[in-house]
Amino acid sequence: MRTLHRGSKKVWLVLAALGLMLGLAACGTEDPTPTPVPPTPTPTATPVPAPGTTPAPAPDPTPTPTPDTSFEAQWEQLVADAQAEGEIVISLGGTDSRHIRDTLAQFQKKFDIRVIASTGSGNANTTRILAERSRGRYTVDYSVAGTSSTQRLIDAEALVPVEPLIIEPTILNRTPEHWHLSPKVWWSDVSATYSMSDSLSIDNFTDVWYSTDHPRAAEAAAITSWWDLADPKWAGDIAMTGFATQGTGATARVRIHRGVGQEFWEAVTRNAAVGNNVLDFSAADGCADLVARAVVAIALGCDVALRPLAASGLPVASITDNIIMEEGLSAEVGGTGTVLDKAPHPKAAQLFLNWWYSQDGMETDVNFTRNLSPAPKLRSDVSQGKVEQRLWDRVGQLQSLLDEGKVFVVDQGVPEYDDDRTLSLNYLQALYDELGILYTAN
């Protein structure tokens, strides 16, 4: 046997080891896929403005729309919402039933909203409203009634505060440019919450008329003081509507109470009771008839019925239109307007509220009222309209009259007013009971 050379043996060992390594490599990778090498990213060039130029600014992000809260936008929306409701139901007091209807027609025409207005006395309408609400019926949106009827609605929690409903900017932000007696907001409810005043009447405490055909006509025409009416010589020759009421006449009763007091009230009432000439507060027509036929010489508290008679040429004339009584004048800030809780047409009620106390609303009323002797408006940016010249002139003289102590202001929005209303009502009702005078308590 042939023996391998030692050097050849080493060569064969090396070759065997290489073969083993190649076999192992072949077993570990079956059809291998090479791992891709990611491409090198191409850098993005930052634009460089050309020399002498300003780079364009980056666009702003799209802004979020801001709601238009201007008065004009709110007003347009309120009008649209009110028109969608289609109508408004308004409860009126007795005198307003006669005086305000043409004004309401203008509102209806301007806004294309149907106005349904009640008739009858404020007391009767308020009683009906409260009876309906006790049964869960809510049929009225807005009330224009006297202060006593308004207080009944407040006591029954039937009204809503009006300030949150106001959007017209001049109504609450009062300046001399727009309002007399500014910056105070004047109210006709003692809580200063539900009913804002709208008129400013500077006049004698109430109106006194006489018959120009009566034998004592000249004597009546010469009256210059309230105490002249208290003179027993006029017993049986005075007619008057009743003032012992919560409704019509309550404010006039307070004015006279503050101006000449309980003693005067008792004396003049006793004079009128002779002949049974103290009539119910709602009997202004009967009171006026007694004067027009010269059954009595003097009438107190029935101005609303006597003015049309005078305008028709009947033999009656005013004493207080032509003079300032010796006891001075009263400046009454009055008028009512309230929004009912659970109103069936709340947007129409809100629109009417804002329109009524705006310059346009007040201007419309002073020119379209059927009242033959309307009070000037509390707004100073409203024209004279149908206001008598004597009443219009006094508004311009108010500050000097106040400075001279010739006028006192009746503020219906303070507790003292309610105190005087209650006190004067109590002593007059006691007197009526003593004299056997019939009266309507509400």
User: In residues, how long is the chain?
Assistant: 442
Rounded to 5°, the CA angle 412-417-420 comes to: 150
Q: State residue 27's pLDDT score.
A: 41
The rounded distance, in Å, linking the Cα atoms of 439 and 265 is 16
| CATH 3.40.190.10 domain locations along the chain | 71-203+332-396, 208-327+429-435
For helices 250-259 and 147-155, angle between their N-to-C axes, nearest 10 degrees: 110
Which residue pairs from 226-233 have beta carbons closer than 8 angstroms and sit at least 24 positions apart in sequence?
Answer: 226/256, 226/259, 226/260, 226/264, 226/268, 226/325, 226/326, 226/327, 227/260, 227/264, 229/264, 229/268, 229/271, 229/298, 229/300, 230/263, 230/264, 230/267, 230/268, 230/271, 231/271, 232/267, 232/271
Rounded to 5°, the CA angle 317-322-327 comes to: 115
The rounded distance, in Å, linking the Cα atoms of 265 and 249 is 13
The rounded distance, in Å, linking the Cα atoms of 381 and 137 is 40
Average pLDDT per consecutive 10 residues, the chain (442 residues; last block may be shorter) = 41 39 41 45 49 56 67 97 98 82 97 93 90 97 91 96 98 96 94 96 95 97 97 97 81 94 97 94 92 97 94 97 94 94 98 98 97 94 96 92 91 91 95 90 60
Distances (CA, A) of 131 to 106, 117, 337: 31, 18, 20
* Three-class SS state of 405: coil
Q: For 71-203+332-396, which CATH superfamily applies?
A: Periplasmic binding protein-like II (3.40.190.10)
Considering only CA atoms, give the Rg of the chain: 43
φ and ψ of 293, to 5 deg: -90, 5
Residues 222, 355: contact at Cβ < 8 Å? Answer: no
The rounded distance, in Å, linking the Cα atoms of 245 and 315 is 30
Q: Identify the helix (H) or strand (E) that includes residue 92.
A: strand 87-92
The rounded distance, in Å, linking the Cα atoms of 326 and 405 is 12
* Three-class SS state of 222: coil
Per CATH, the number for 208-327+429-435 is 3.40.190.10
Q: State residue 156's pLDDT score.
A: 97
Which residues are CB-contacts of 337 (< 8 A; sequence separation ≥ 6)? Answer: 142, 143, 144, 162, 195, 196, 198, 353, 356, 357
Q: State residue 246's pLDDT score.
A: 73
Other beta carbons within 10 angstroms of residue 235's beta carbon come to: 15
Other beta carbons within 10 angstroms of residue 276's beta carbon come to: 13
The rounded distance, in Å, linking the Cα atoms of 35 and 300 is 116
DSSP labels, 157-186: T-B--SGGG--SHHHHS--TTTBTTTTSPP
